[in-house]
Structure 1
Amino acid sequence: MGHARDTERDAILIGGREQRAIVIVDYDDVWPSMAASLAQKIQDSLGPAALSVEHIGSTSVTGLAAKLVIDMLLVVADIDDEESYIVPMGSIGLRLRVREHGHRMLRTAELDFHVHVLPPETAEQIDYLDLRDWLRVSTADRALYESTKRTIAAKTWSDMNYYADAKSAVIQHILSHARNWRADQPTG
């Protein structure tokens, strides 16, 4: 990856870039209950400031292999009002890792939970949910995504964010299917 992307990352990452091994493990039936437990803690700590809390990412898709990181999506009315959510989430062990325009990410010290914070009705929020929901119903795209993750996880990455970058083409491909599927779903 080029220096421009590194400079961009350095500006948004709290604590700098990290080199860690990416390990993909088979699906674990305990992940949904772990996510539900954290979602409840977030709701309890934030009250009405938490507009929604959702389990997203690979651990939210039954049968999909994943990194041992449970991703959550927290929607708040005003992402720039960090005091309303960062301080309370600190009391449940979450610390700010990413601060960028329109997106924050907090994580646990154990690195087993990532909470992505977004304002309502963003394209990123919709994409997270569409990707999750589509992978839950599409065996073919679920297999493609898992195969891609296992292949790229086997490489050595100087920063774990490069692993995420390497998945972006297949994610965009799968998202195109997810968006078409979502458009065909009944509303109401």
Structure 2
Amino acid sequence: MQNPSQDFLALMKANISTKQRELDRLIDLVQRLKVELAEEERLYSQVAKYANTGESATAGFVARVSEEIESHPVGGQLSSEPEPATRKPRVTTHVYESDRIRVMAADVVREAGRIMSGPEILAGIRDKGYVFESTSPAELVKKALRTAPELMKAGRGYWLKGIDLPAPQPKASKTKTRSA
């Protein structure tokens, strides 16, 4: 059995080690913050310098750029009017992900050889190792299944288009056996 004072010393040593690691982490954080602060101060001084140059310097720069644009072969086709605000274009990765999901869903149903529900198909796709980019994979699979060219709705699940539905498998009966 170990001496209680030895246990106390070991505990103190572990505590000192933990505090030293925390101190090192804080020192690293302070160094990073100093670098960020220096960069922000440099940026501030550049913006302040630009702002203090006055309106005439900015107007001169704009005039020179405008002259160069007008002398360019397509200069007359450019407009100085701001373009109307438009909506941000939608990210199209979900379209490609939906295409991949449709193909994988058909493979999952084909391999299972039976009608499968949406959650079963989702689990099958995940079992194949697919990592979803979407934040809501269940919703994405649900939408993709509705427009899957190889699948059709069959009862409460999905089956392959153009292939006869599998024969319903008899459910195991739940008969009680009598014990003597």
TM bracket, shorter-chain basis: under 0.3
Compare CA radii of gyration and give the structure with the larger one.
2
- Structure having the larger proportion of residues in strand: 1
Which structure has more relative contact order (CA 8 Å, sep 6+)? It is 1
- Structure having the larger proportion of residues in helix: 2
TM-score normalised over the length of structure 1: 0.19
